Structure 1
Amino acid sequence: MMVTVQVITDPRFAAEVAAVAAATFPLACPPHSAPANIDAFIRDNLAPADFARYIDAPESDVLLTRTDDDIPVGYALVHHREPTDADVAAVITDRPSSEVSKIYVLPDHHARGRTQSPSRLLMETAVERARARGAASIWLGVNQENARAQRFYTKMGFTRVGVKTFDLNGSVELDYVLSRPVRSRLLDR
């Protein structure tokens, strides 16, 4: 099965992206996360109106992966701006930088082979978009308990550079800050 990545430029697709976000966000939350906190975060941050704003924002890219039968299976949200979190700003020294704010794939599409992995294609596209915008580095936050995601990010060339907090509707979670240069291609590290 082939997958493709598209940059979403039409806010009419926001509901489609939000549906993937609502299905995938809970999977990345630590086991101790309260379902009410997860639901509130989705409602307050991952709604169609939120994605419509991101799609319209010139400093952001919304990426969506689809199967060859046009089914959305993953998405990424990339911000091309300097870090606003003080903990992140202190450790991201290779500037300008872009942030992979969100990158999630439906669980039945996680391991699709080296070249057709939706996660890999999303990350490669995020890095290419950052490079095209002149970024020197790209960074992300990942929950300290999410070992699977950390392994994937390491394979994609990211290294741990710091820590930050993540507010899950009043529950403070600890994230690692990971970063990598965008000057070289992913496979040419």
Structure 2
Amino acid sequence: MIKLIKCTPEDVEALQNISIETFSATFGPYNTEANLKGYLKKAYDIEVLRQELSNQNSEFYFAYEDDEIAGYLKINILDAQSEKMADDFLEVQRIYVREQFKRHGIGKKMLEFAIKRANDLGKDRLWLGVWEKNFAAQNFYHSLGFEKYSSHRFTMGDSVQTDFILKKELRK
């Protein structure tokens, strides 16, 4: 059984560990060790995560399969969004699943939950960024009704990469 539980400030160390684990597994093979280490140190610093957890316009949820943390979801609204977007958008900034839990329906469950939160908050659209070379994730998002909207640059050390911005209309 999969359940989502909202993270609290007391979860910051577990959040840091799973962030580093999942980001490294997904993007480590495609980046230099120096670029990866620099990014992980900056993005998943305990104090950075504490600030993100305390932002009233961001929410983190651990996804549990049985009693083990399988991944996590981070959503943002308003000024917490990582790109300037209209107020009727909810951003799915992070949807990370640990390797041993992939293809268990956890990502889909997290996106369904994000849609529910968007509806609860009166948002009309969801958006997320996905690396241009992560074809499996792109196919997954497209299967759930996301469409390419635009793109932005993602910098990791001396590597500049492109993320596609995908959106899903909730009210048509």
> Do both proteins adopt the same fold according to a TM-score greater than 0.5, normalized to the shorter chain?
yes
Superposed displacement of residue 152, structure 1: 1.1
* Counterpart AA for 1:101: Q
Superposed displacement of residue 84, structure 1: 5.7
Q: Say whether the 8 Å CA contact 1:140–1:178 is kept in structure 2.
A: yes
Q: Say whether the 8 Å CA contact 2:149–2:165 is kept in structure 1.
A: yes
Superposed displacement of residue 35, structure 1: 1.7
Gaps of 5+ in 2: none
Q: Pick from 120, 143, 150: which aligns with 1:162?
A: 150
Pair 1:178-2:170 in alignment: no
Residue correspondences, number: 171
Q: Say whether the 8 Å CA contact 2:28–2:36 is kept in structure 1.
A: no
Q: Pick from 32, 42, 49: which aligns with 1:34?
A: 32
* Correspondence 1:34-53 to 2 at 5 A: 34-53=32-51
- Taking only aligned residues, the RMSD between alpha carbons, in angstroms, comes to 2.0
CA offsets, 1:17-66, max 9 Å, x none? 11111111123327441121112111111233222222211000101111
Gaps of 5+ in 1: 185-189
Q: TM-score by structure 2 length?
A: 0.90
Match of 1:21 in 2: 19
Percent identity over the alignment is 23
Structure 1 runs of 4+ with >6 Å offset: none
Please give the alpha-carbon distance, in whole angstroms, between the structure 2 residues aligned to 1:180 and 1:167: 25
Please give the alpha-carbon distance, in whole angstroms, between the structure 1 residues aligned to 2:14 and 2:89: 28
Q: Say whether the 8 Å CA contact 1:164–1:176 is kept in structure 2.
A: yes
Please give the alpha-carbon distance, in whole angstroms, between the structure 2 residues aligned to 1:56 and 1:73: 23
Please give the alpha-carbon distance, in whole angstroms, between the structure 2 residues aligned to 1:30 and 1:48: 20
* Counterpart AA for 1:179: K
Distance 1:48 1:118, change over 3 A: farther
Pair 1:103-2:89 in alignment: no
